């Protein structure tokens, strides 16, 4: 197992509300132009700087859209 937290955005569950982007202190989550199956431009993981604060996981209104694994 990695010794760093790992965040994943499950693209097809994201509705692009942007809340996780606003609340991430590391700029790890960003908007993209990738359109998902729901027709939204999904949020993506843009860097490896996640500190595992869980802000994104807790604020996301879409169940299952974000998963966070902490070592
Ligand atoms: S856990 Fe915290 S640092 Fe990691 S992506 Fe989510 S908001 Fe950003
Ligand atoms: S908070 Fe959830 S639904 Fe909103 S942009 Fe982030 S992953 Fe997508």
| 3, 52 contact by CB (below 8 A) | no
Any residues with CB less than 8 A from the CB of 25 and at least 6 apart, and which?
51, 53, 55
Q: What is the DSSP string of 11-48?
A: GGG-----HHHHH-TT--EEEEEEE-TTS-EEEEE--S
Q: Is residue 38 scored above 70 in pLDDT?
A: yes
pTM score, whole prediction: 0.95
Question: What is the best residue among 27, 62, 63 to mutate for testing ligand 2's pocket, by most ligand atoms within 8 Å of CB?
Answer: 62
Task: Tell me how crowded residue 67 is: count the other CB atoms within 10 A of its CB.
Answer: 11
Mean pLDDT of the chain: 97
Mean pLDDT of 21-49: 98
Q: Which atom of ligand 1 is nearest to the CA of 5?
A: 4
pLDDT bracket for residue 18 (50, 70, 90):
very high
For ligand 1, atom 6, name the residue with the nearest CA: 56
- At residue 1, the pLDDT reads 58
Q: Which domains does the chain carry? A: 6-69 (3.30.70.20)
């Amino acid at each position: 197992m990695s010794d760093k937290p790992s965040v994943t955005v499950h693209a097809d569950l994201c509705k692009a509300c942007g809340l996780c982007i606003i609340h991430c202190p590391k700029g790890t989550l960003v908007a993209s132009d990738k359109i998902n199956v729901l027709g939204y431009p999904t949020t993506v993981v843009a860097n490896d700087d996640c500190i595992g604060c869980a802000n994104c996981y807790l604020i996301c209104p879409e169940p299952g859209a974000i998963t966070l694994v902490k070592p």
